[in-house]
Amino acid sequence: MDEEFTDENYTVRDDMPDGTEGEHEHRHEHHQQVLARLARIKGHVRAIKRMVENDTSCPDVLTQIAAVRSALNSVGRVILEDHLQSCMVDAVEKDDYKRALKDLKNSLDKFIG
C-alpha cells in the first residue's frame, strides 16, 4: 500500500510518477547524504509512533517530535544549498532564471512557513 501524507497545504505520496515537473537533469552534490538523513528521520518517526502506541509520556514524545523537526529543517537547508549551487546556476546559464526564481520563492515560502 502506498503511503500518503496530506494536510491543508501539501500532499506527499511515495508513489509520485516519473517525469513530474521539476525533475532534475543531474544529481546534487549531497544526494546520498540527504537520502541517508531522510532514512534516519523515517526511523525516528516510526520510533515516535511506537512511543505513542506504548503510552510514553507526552513531554518525551514532544521532545522527539522537536528533534524530528530540527532534523527535517537541517536536511532542508542542505537541499536548498545544493539547489542554489546547481539548479539556480543551471537556470541562469539556460536563461531560465525568472521561472527558477519564481519556483524558488514558492518553495521557500512553503519551507519557511
The correct answer on CATH 1.20.58.1000 for the domain covering 30-112 is yes
DSSP output for the chain? ---EEE-SS-EEETTPPTT-TT--SS--TTHHHHHHHHHHHHHHHHHHHHHHHTT--HHHHHHHHHHHHHHHHHHHHHHHHHIIIIIHHHHHHTT-HHHHHHHHHHHHHHHH-
pLDDT at 2: 44
Question: Residue 10: is it exposed, middle or buried by C-beta count within 10 angstroms (0-12/13-18/19+)?
Answer: exposed
Domain boundaries, the chain: 30-112
Contact between 13 and 2 under an 8 Å Cβ cutoff? The reply is yes
pLDDT confidence band for 113 (50 / 70 / 90): confident
Rg (CA), the chain: 17
Q: Tens digit of pLDDT for each residue in 19-62?
A: 445 555 678 899 999 999 999 999 999 999 999 999 999 999 99
The three grid cell numbers given for residue 28, joined into one nine-digit string: 546534487
Average pLDDT over residues 95-109: 93
pTM above 0.85, yes or no: no
